[in-house]
Amino acid sequence: MKRLKIGDNILVITGSEKGKTGKILKFVKKDRAIIEGVDMHRRHYPSSPTRDAGIENVNCSIHTSNLMLIINNKPTKVKVIMQDKKRIRISRKEVA
């Protein structure tokens, strides 16, 4: 089970986007996520028969090791435990 899921609120903990928060839009490959409004790059498109030329803002992916889940407006580490033969995610602060 992944520690992060689509729709989770996260905090970027390292890199040039450190301190920014957002929501996970989708996962790219197994260990990279696209975050809403974080790591925006400008992409230049040439004209083609199906598209006009222009410049668009594109979300780039961030490695999941650089992200931390936000629970109750506080960034927390996540632990996966077995409960009634199902895996559930809980905050490390709840365990301690």
- The answer to the question of residue 4 being in a domain is no
β-partners of residue 73 are none
What tokens appear for 44 in the block? 């230049």
For the chain, what percent of residues have pLDDT higher than 90? 41
pLDDT band (50, 70, 90) for residue 95:
low
Residue 1 has pLDDT above 70, yes or no: no
What tokens appear for 22 in the block? 């957002």
Residue 52: domain span: 9-95
What tokens appear for 37 in the block? 């409004």
Judge whether 33 and 26 are in contact, CB under 8 Å: yes
Q: Which residues of 10-36 are buried (b: 16+ CB within 10 A; e: fewer)?
A: bbbeeeebeeebbebbebeeeebbbbe
pLDDT band (50, 70, 90) for residue 73:
confident
- The answer to the question of residue 27 being in a domain is yes
- The answer to the question of residue 61 being in a domain is yes
pLDDT band (50, 70, 90) for residue 19:
very high
Residue 96 has pLDDT above 60, yes or no: no
- The answer to the question of residue 57 being in a domain is yes
- The answer to the question of residue 30 being in a domain is yes
Domain of residue 76, CATH code: 2.30.30.30
Nearest Cα neighbor of 12 from 60, 58, 64 is 64
Helix (H, G, I), strand (E, B) or coil at 73: coil
14 versus 93: the higher-pLDDT residue is 14
The whole model's pTM is what? 0.77
92 versus 59: the higher-pLDDT residue is 59
What total number of domains does the chain contain? Answer: 1
